[in-house]
Each structure stands twice: as structure tokens, then as C-alpha cells.
A = this chain, B = another copy of it.
Amino acid sequence: MGYLSIGEMAKLNGLSEQSLRLYDRMGLISPTHRGEENGYRYYDIRQSAVLDIIQYMKSLGMSLKEISVQLRDPDINYIETVLRRRQEQVDGEIKNLKFQRRAIERTIESIEHYRTAPPDGTIVLEYIGRRQMYLIDCGINFYDYDMDEYERLLRELKDSLSADQLPQIYFCNAGTVLRQENLAQRRFYSTELFVFVDREFVSADLTTPIPASNYLCIYCDSFYKEKEYAERLLQEAEKRGYRVTGDYLCESISDIPMVDTTARGMFLRLQIPVSFA
């Protein structure tokens, strides 16, 4: 009495007939009976318990092969090991997803910023809140080189990020620092690259805080105009009677959507913190 055909068993347990056949072939679970004449698979409803276990083990990230080994020769210690391994893995995945979640927010904000950004060459005064940067010193003055070398240095930044277990995703918001004293003397010398990161996600000893301030900013759509525009920025600050209060930043805005398949699409916001006095 009461055997279930493959279709009934599948429906009852919410999986496909194909999966049941696959599990049979892989030795996870075979029907208790086979039709003598027709070769049909007939399952006992109690085998649902095995399907539950299979499902559970799958959710633990075990492969079908591993599962079949466990079903054949169950080892509770092994299961416990898998559970603990999986627990750590899940913790890691949660952390990653939280990173990613934040990075996506950041990109959306960045796109909005890009959309509303003034055209190339515009100078504006903006208040920018407190930020946190992840900084590396690459030991090479990139102003002496061109785009190629800059790309090479970006790779270094990228490697450094991943060495510190930070998600690559922050990488879309990179930039460079020019120290206040160098800028004052029009000396384009800098070896420092950064990405902006989140204070709440990245440990404090890896990051450098940038205080909130009013910034005099100029928007720029090419890597090659940077020096010229920076000069304009300084002149404008002087004209307006602002005092420069910190380091100059060259921030790349919305790197991602600016796709140019031969080179990095650039939209930069060059900025210097200023006070009025």
C-alpha cells in the first residue's frame, strides 16, 4: 500500500522529478521499490525524512557527493565540524554582504552626485562632512608620470585593499592627496592614493579621518587638466580671500558608470578645505 510515484514524491517534497532521479543516480536516495515490469520508481513516504536531511545538508553548503557519503556512513562528529565551518563561513558572508550593501548605497549616492554635478570647469564652494579614507603611500610621485603609471599604482592600492580584507568595491571611489605645503608652493609632489571608506565598517587603525569643512571645489573631466585646474582653484581662493586650511584632494566621482572601453572614464572633483578670514 501507499507507495508514491516519483511525481507524487516530488510534489509532496517541493522538488522536481529530475532532482529525485539525480539523487537516485548519485546514490543519495533510491526509491524503496522499483516496478518489476515498468521500471517505475516507487517511494515510501517515510523517505521524506531523508529528503529533509539532504535539504538541510545542502543548506550547510555540502555537495551532493559529500551528502551521499554522510548518508551512507553518518558521522556526527563530521557533521558538527561541517556545522562549525559553515557557521564561520556564514559570519564571513554576512560581513561581506554588509560591506556590499554599504558600497552599493555609496555608488547610488555617487551616481546622484554625478547627475547633479556642475559642468567641467565650474568652481563652487561646498560643505563636505567628515570622511574617512584608506590611504597608501606608493613611494612614487605620480605627477611625474602619466596615466599608465597611475593605473599601475591603482593596482597597488587594490592589492593593498584586498590584503587588508577590505572589499574591492570601495575601489570605485579612489583619489589622491596633495599635502597643503606642497600645494602652497605649487609643487606637484604626491605619493599618496586613497579610497573613501566607512568608519563603521573599517577598523580605525587602517583609516585616516578627514574633518568636515567648507571646500572650494572645481569639477574636472580629464586627468590631464588637473594641474591647470588646481591652479585655478588656488587663484580663486585667493581672489575670494579664503584661507587654505588643509590638504588638497583629487577625488574621482562616479567612476563606474563612466564607461569608456579604452581607458578610465574620469570625472574629478578637485577640492581644498578653506576658511573665511
Contacts and interface: CB of A to CB of B under 8 A. Distances in A.
Nearest to A1: B148
Contact of A162 (B14, B50, B263): B14
A104 B91 contact: no
A79 B115 CA distance: 13
A151 to B, nearest CB: 5
A44 B262 contact: yes
Given A151-B45, A151-B49, A264-B49, A101 B87 contact: yes
A98 interface: yes
A50 B260 CA distance: 8
Interface in A251-277: 255-257, 259, 261-265
Interface stretch (A54-62, A185-193, A238-246): A54-62
B259 A53 contact: yes
Most chain B CB inside 10 Å of its own CB: which residue of A49, A71, A169: A49
B104 A90 contact: yes
A90 to B, nearest CB: 5
A46 B93 contact: no
Interface stretch (A153-161, A176-184, A199-207, A214-222): A153-161
A108 interface: yes
B108 A84 contact: yes
A80 B105 CA distance: 10
Interface in A31-85: 32, 44-50, 52-53, 55-56, 59-60, 70-71, 74, 76, 79-80, 83-84
Complex A-B, nearest 4 residue pairs according to Cβ-Cβ distance, in ascending order: A49-B264, A46-B263, A74-B259, A76-B257
